[in-house]
Structure 1
Amino acid sequence: MKPLRYYGAILTARSAIFALRAIGRNATHFPGGLAMKICPQFLKHIEKPPVLIGVTGTNGKTTVSNMIGDVLKAAKIPYANNALGSNIQEGIIVTMLEATTFWGKRKAEYCVLEIDERVSPKIYPYLKPTYLVVTNLFRDSYRRNAHVGYIADILQETIPSETTLILNADDLISLNLKPDNRRVTFGVDRLENEVEIRDSRIKDIHYCLKCGHRLTFDFNRYHHLGKAHCEGCGYTSPKGDVVITHVDETRKKMTLRIFDEYFEVKKIGDNITDLYNSVAAIALLHTFGMKTKEILHHFDGIEVVKSRYDVSELNGKKVIVMMAKDQNPIATSRVCDFIRRYPRHERIGVVLMNEASDHHTVSENIAFIYDTDFEYLNQPNITQVLFGGMRYLDFIARYKLSGIGEDRVNGAPDEASAVQLVDLDKVDTVFILYGTKTEPQALSAKRALLERMSEREVKA
Structure 2
Amino acid sequence: MVGSSASSTPSTRGPRYYLAMATAKAASVALKALHRNAGQFPGALAEAIDPDFMAHIDKPEHVVFVSGTNGKTTTNNLLNDLLVDNGFELVDNRAGGNIANGIESTFIKNAGITGRQKLSTAVMELDELSSRLVFPHVTPDIMLVTNLYRDSFSRNANPDFIFSVMSEKIPASTKLVLNADDLISCRMAPQCKERVYFALGPMPEDEKEAQGIACDLTACPECGGRLEYDYCHMRHLGRAHCTSCGFTNPEPQYVVTRIDREAHTFTVEERPRGGAEERLSALGAGTDGEGQPRSYTYHFGTYSLTNIYNLLAALVVARELGVSPEAIAASFERGINVTAARYSEREVGEYRLIALASKGENSTATSVALDTIRREQGDKILMLMLADAHKAENPVQTEYIGWYYQSDFEYLTDPTFKQIVVQGATSEDLLLRLRLAGVDMDKLVMVATPTEAADAVDLTLTHDVYWAYDIFNGGDVESSRNRLIERIEAGELAPREVKNLAKVDAEAEPEDAAGAEDEGAAAADATGADVASAEDATGADTASADAPQMNASQPVIEVLYPEYGNQAGDNGNVMYLRACLPNATFVETSHGSVPYFAEHTPDLIIMCNMTERQQEAVIEQLRPYRDRLAQLIDEGVYMLFTGNAAEVLGKGIRDAKTGAVEGLDLLDITTERTMRRRYLTVNVGAFAPEPGSDPMEVVGFKIQFTQVFAGGIDGAFMENSVGWGLNEKVSSEGVRKNNLLATWMIGPVLPLNPDFTRWLLKNATGHEVPLAFEQEARAAYNKRVQELKTPGMHLAH
Counting only pairs closer than 5 Å after superposition, residues 346-425 of structure 1 correspond to structure 2 as 346-356=378-388, 357-358=390-391, 359-425=394-460
What is the aligned partner in structure 2 of residue 325 from structure 1?
Answer: 359
- Quick check: 1:289 aligned with 2:322? yes
Q: What are the ranges of 5 or more consecutive residues in structure 2 without an aligned counterpart?
A: 1-11, 272-292, 495-797
Determine helix, strand or coil for the equivalent of 2:26: helix
- Quick check: 1:441 aligned with 2:476? yes
Aligned mates of 2:395, 2:41 — CA distance in 1: 20
Counting only pairs closer than 5 Å after superposition, residues 6-405 of structure 1 correspond to structure 2 as 6-181=17-192, 182-195=194-207, 198-259=210-271, 260-300=293-333, 301-343=335-377, 346-356=378-388, 357-358=390-391, 359-405=394-440
Aligned mates of 2:267, 2:84 — CA distance in 1: 24
Shift of 1:383: 0.6
Aligned mates of 1:267, 1:244 — CA distance in 2: 13
Number of equivalences: 457
Determine helix, strand or coil for the equivalent of 2:48: helix
Render the CA deviation track for 1:276-331: whole Å, top value 9, x for unaligned.
10101011111122222112211222233223111111222211111111111111
Aligned mates of 2:110, 2:22 — CA distance in 1: 15
Q: Pick closer, same or farther for the CA change 1:458–1:232 going to 2, 3 Å.
A: closer
Aligned mates of 1:310, 1:304 — CA distance in 2: 12
Determine helix, strand or coil for the equivalent of 1:411: strand
Render the CA deviation track for 1:33-90: whole Å, top value 9, x for unaligned.
1111111221111111111010010000000000110011111210110000211122
Aligned mates of 2:258, 2:374 — CA distance in 1: 22
TM-score, scaled to structure 2 = 0.56
Render the CA deviation track for 1:394-417: whole Å, top value 9, x for unaligned.
111111111111011112222222
Shift of 1:332: 0.3
Shift of 1:151: 0.4
Aligned mates of 2:164, 2:40 — CA distance in 1: 27
Q: What are the ranges of 5 or more consecutive residues in structure 1 without an aligned counterpart?
A: none
Q: Is the 8 A contact 1:350 1:384 kept in 2?
A: yes
Q: Is the 8 A contact 1:347 1:427 kept in 2?
A: yes
Determine helix, strand or coil for the equivalent of 2:486: helix
Determine helix, strand or coil for the equivalent of 1:432: strand
Aligned mates of 1:196, 1:336 — CA distance in 2: 21
Aligned mates of 2:211, 2:61 — CA distance in 1: 46
Q: Is the 8 A contact 1:202 1:223 kept in 2?
A: no
Determine helix, strand or coil for the equivalent of 1:280: helix
Q: Pick closer, same or farther for the CA change 1:68–1:425 going to 2, 3 Å.
A: same
Q: Is the 8 A contact 1:309 1:322 kept in 2?
A: yes
Q: Is the 8 A contact 2:28 2:109 kept in 1?
A: no
Q: Is the 8 A contact 2:197 2:252 kept in 1?
A: yes
TM-score, scaled to structure 1 = 0.95
Greater Cα offset, 37-46 or 443-452: 443-452
RCO comparison, higher one (Cα < 8 Å, 6+)? 1
Render the CA deviation track for 1:319-372: whole Å, top value 9, x for unaligned.
1111111111111011111112111xx211111111222255533211100111
Q: Is the 8 A contact 2:41 2:101 kept in 1?
A: yes
Q: Pick closer, same or farther for the CA change 1:34–1:241 going to 2, 3 Å.
A: same
Determine helix, strand or coil for the equivalent of 1:296: helix
Aligned mates of 1:74, 1:171 — CA distance in 2: 30
Shift of 1:263: 0.7
Render the CA deviation track for 1:233-280: whole Å, top value 9, x for unaligned.
332223421121111111111111122210111023222110110101
% same residue: 34
Aligned mates of 2:151, 2:24 — CA distance in 1: 32
**Which residue identity is paired with 1:424?**
L
Aligned mates of 2:69, 2:395 — CA distance in 1: 26
**Which residue identity is paired with 1:287?**
E
Determine helix, strand or coil for the equivalent of 2:354: strand
What is the aligned partner in structure 1 of residue 4 from structure 2?
Answer: none
Aligned mates of 2:204, 2:251 — CA distance in 1: 17
Q: Pick closer, same or farther for the CA change 1:442–1:87 going to 2, 3 Å.
A: same
Higher Cα Rg, which structure: 2
Aligned mates of 1:82, 1:20 — CA distance in 2: 15
Greater Cα offset, 194-203 or 401-410: 194-203
Aligned mates of 1:294, 1:452 — CA distance in 2: 47
Aligned mates of 1:323, 1:146 — CA distance in 2: 22
Q: Is the 8 A contact 1:315 1:457 kept in 2?
A: no
Aligned mates of 1:159, 1:220 — CA distance in 2: 29
Determine helix, strand or coil for the equivalent of 1:321: strand
Q: Pick closer, same or farther for the CA change 1:208–1:194 going to 2, 3 Å.
A: closer
